[in-house]
Amino acid sequence: PAPTAARLIPRADCAAPAAAEVAWQGCDKRWAGLAGAMLRGARLDGVRLDGADLRRADLSYANLSGASLRGANLSGASLMGADLSRADLTGADLTEAVLDYATLTGALMTGVRLSGTRLGKAVWPDGHLCAPHSVDVCA
């Protein structure tokens, strides 16, 4: 029989530098200094980013499902279209962040700071779809 084609899912490379589409799934990046990092489309599912500095980082369309972002600073970050389902955002700072079209289904959001945070059409932890121009709260 013909060999089956391997699925082209990148293997985690925890030593790889921050870059668009980086594969850090399951890596330990606690307290990482990633302010302004370009992580657009990154594979970050299950990553540990507790206490990380992600201010103004571009995490648009990144897969952060099941990630731990406890106490992370995401102020001014772009998380547009990001998958944050089942992520732990306890105590994270999302001040002025963009979460338009993000998926937060099942995410833990105790103590999250959402001042000026854009939530247009985001899917809230309870599955509720936020109104198109939601800011601070999922309306």
Residue 135's φ and ψ, nearest 5 degrees, are -135, 135
Tokens in use for 94? Answer: 């999302």
β-pair partners for 103 = 83, 123
β-pair partners for 83 = 63, 103
Distance CA(24)–CA(29), nearest Å, equals 9
* Kind and range of the H or E run holding 42: none
Cα 9 to its chain centre, rounded Å, is 19
Question: Per residue in 48-98, pLDDT tens?
Answer: 999 999 999 999 999 999 999 999 999 999 999 999 999 999 999 999 999
Q: Is the pLDDT of residue 2 over 60?
A: no
Question: Per residue in 122-137, pLDDT tens?
Answer: 999 999 999 999 999 9
Model confidence, pTM: 0.91
